[in-house]
């Protein structure tokens, strides 16, 4: 799906929060290879882009590039900024003049035929932005990993001075204790309301956009029709009941001799905890 020759990108963020111990990083790293395989299958021709926290090493960035990602290796995170500021680094794809259409997705959620067909219907509609709600628990007006838009429209409507300026202004006005969905609700949604095509499985969030709220173009998901809902969390067998159906041995081999984190304490946690689980799963 090339989007009528538009230059399209799927944007991800890989970020390590300062507020807690090292998360179950094997969940996200195992997902890297799965998401790339799914993108080739369901979104051929799309650039798969990862905005990588500066707490990861250059060697780690190189390993991810070998999987087929475009990696933007960011500087180390500023601890004074809210966590949602770092998670939202994927918004920087909007500034790229080489990208016409962007999708925001989460690494621990699979790319599926349901997702791809929904995006194709949105692109064909001519509407500037796209948002999905595919589960009763999807209650925010914009789910952070389930929306997208046309880059020119995003720059014009909510980031005319660029994403860095947009995030800096938001950091001064949006509650630091919130998440990236709070950022979208407060700083993005007011500017794109009325120009967003909502696809709403439970049909309970149509209040957000009236006539631009439509059902998903595919039948309701079930075990036989579609394997899960858009935004469903799937990750490594070590952490989730349903394993990623993709070979990740090559990724594990790439990481075997690569320091993953710049900081010694994080690297020690990785080697002791998450890496053995991931190596066992991928081999």
Q: pLDDT tens, 194-240? A: 899 988 776 665 665 555 778 778 765 554 444 578 877 775 443 33
pLDDT the model gives residue 209: 56
Mean pLDDT of the chain: 82
| % of the chain surpassing 70 pLDDT | 82
- 37 band by pLDDT with thresholds 50, 70 and 90: confident
pLDDT the model gives residue 225: 44
Residues 6+ apart with CB under 8 A from 17: 23, 83, 86
| % of the chain surpassing 90 pLDDT | 36
pLDDT the model gives residue 210: 54
Q: Regarding predicted confidence, which is higher, 218 or 99?
A: 99
Count up the domains in the chain and report the number: 1
pLDDT at residue 2 is higher than 60 = no
pLDDT the model gives residue 15: 85
Whole-model pTM over 0.75: yes
pLDDT at residue 264 is higher than 50 = yes
Tell whether 1 is covered by a domain. Answer: no
pLDDT the model gives residue 237: 42
Is 80 buried (19+), middle (13-18) or exposed (0-12) by CB count in 10 A? exposed
Tell whether 17 is covered by a domain. Answer: yes
pLDDT at residue 3 is higher than 70 = no
Tell whether 3 is covered by a domain. Answer: no
Tell whether 60 is covered by a domain. Answer: yes
Tell whether 193 is covered by a domain. Answer: yes
Name, of 94-98, 140-144, 244-248, the range with top average pLDDT: 94-98
Residue 82 belongs to domain with CATH number: 3.90.550
- Nearest CA among 59, 95, 202, 88 for reference residue 147: 88
Please give the C-alpha separations between residue 239 and each of 18, 231, 244, 257, in angstroms, as whole numbers: 22, 17, 11, 24
User: The domain containing residue 90 runs over which residues?
Assistant: 8-278
Tell whether 2 is covered by a domain. Answer: no
State the Cα–Cα distance between residues 99 and 89, nearest whole angstrom. Answer: 16
């Amino acid at each position: 799906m090339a989007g009528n020759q538009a230059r399209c990108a799927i944007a991800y963020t890989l970020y390590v929060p300062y507020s807690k111990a090292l998360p179950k990083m094997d969940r996200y790293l195992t997902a890297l290879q799965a998401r790339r395989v799914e993108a080739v299958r369901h979104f051929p021709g799309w650039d798969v882009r990862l905005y990588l926290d500066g707490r990861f090493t250059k060697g780690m960035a190189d390993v991810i590039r070998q999987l087929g990602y475009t990696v933007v290796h960011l500087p180390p995170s500023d601890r004074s900024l809210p966590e949602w500021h770092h998670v939202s680094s994927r918004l920087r794809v909007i500034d790229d003049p080489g990208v016409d259409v962007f999708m925001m997705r989460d690494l621990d959620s699979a790319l599926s035929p349901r997702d791809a067909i929904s995006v194709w219907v949105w692109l064909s509609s001519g509407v500037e932005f796209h948002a999905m709600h595919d589960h009763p628990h999807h209650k925010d007006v914009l789910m952070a990993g389930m929306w997208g838009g046309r880059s020119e429209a995003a720059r014009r409507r909510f980031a005319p001075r660029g994403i860095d300026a947009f995030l800096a202004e938001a950091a001064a006005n949006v509650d630091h204790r919130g998440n990236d969905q709070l950022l979208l609700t407060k700083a993005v949604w007011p500017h794109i309301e009325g120009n967003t095509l909502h696809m709403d499985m439970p049909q309970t969030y149509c209040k957000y956009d009236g006539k631009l709220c439509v059902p998903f173009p595919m039948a309701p998901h079930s075990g036989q029709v579609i394997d899960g809902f858009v935004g469903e969390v799937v990750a490594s067998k070590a952490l989730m009941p349903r394993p990623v159906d993709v070979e990740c041995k090559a990724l594990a081999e790439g990481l075997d001799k690569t320091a993953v984190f710049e900081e010694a304490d994080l690297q020690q946690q990785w080697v002791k905890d998450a890496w053995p689980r991931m190596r066992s799963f991928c081999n």
